[in-house]
Amino acid sequence: MLLTIDVGNTQTVIGVYDGGGLVHMWRIATNTGYTSDELRIKVRALFDADGIDASGVKGAILASVVPPMTHNWEKVICRSFGVDAVVVGVDNCRHLLGLGENEFSELGADRVADAVAAKNKFGCPVIVVDFGTATNIEVVDKDGVFRGGIIAPGVETSMRTLVTRAALLCSVELEDPGVSIGRNTSEAIQVGVAVGEAARIDGLVERIQEELGYPCRVVATGGLAHRIAPMSHTIDEISLELTLEGLHIIHEDLVHER
């Protein structure tokens, strides 16, 4: 079995692959206050709850955009499963994205995994929209080369900022109200935040395709993809496990390369 871990700013997604397929997936809160021992307890509880034998884990790969957590997770993986984690970064994945030396040196591990997975699963050209703490957009051109992307505040981040700064507004469910003109405060917020996010994505995707000069397949992933993507007219697919799939592909490539 292969253990895949994607440490995001808000949530950490853990997946177990067996026989090439994802057989278990969990989401836990990312908490920079947790020690490696506390994380070990959480991981052990997840495995025990689903009756998974931890001794079956023979490899692990880690993507983290939270530097204080990266080393802790490496310790957890080593002590809990007796394997060393492959830590994803742009430098060990350049060949998978057609990148030259020093190109996109600050590209986050989650963005790398998303682009690798989309390229392999959906072909090229492809655009990935990842709805997380930030809304990330990744662009892979028709030649399979990573061209860059966009980073914007995530939809939940925008919601929290709005209700924190405006005393008379409260948080609402991020869902389609079915209208474009809110008839009450809740609907007005839903149109502005949820429908507005879909409209923003559509506008950016259209600009990307115009700049490239050709249409692209558009794939949505991330915790809120299933809520926002149906309101978009440019998103073609939803793949909630895309980042983990990218980690699986990268691990297979790097281990085979060794």
Cβ contact 122:219 at 8 Å: yes
Q: How far apart are CA 129 and CA 117, in angstroms?
A: 12
The secondary structure of residue 232, as a DSSP letter, is -
Q: Is 91 a catalytic residue?
A: no
Return contacts of 101-107, CB within 8 angstroms, 24+ apart: 104/146, 104/148, 107/146
Phi and psi dihedrals of 25, rounded to 5? -145, 135
**Given the residues 110, 114, 176, 253, the one annotated as active site:** 110
Helices 109-122 and 242-257: crossing angle, nearest 10°? 90
Q: Tokens 């949505």 belong to which residue? A: 220
Q: List residues with catalytic annotation.
A: 110
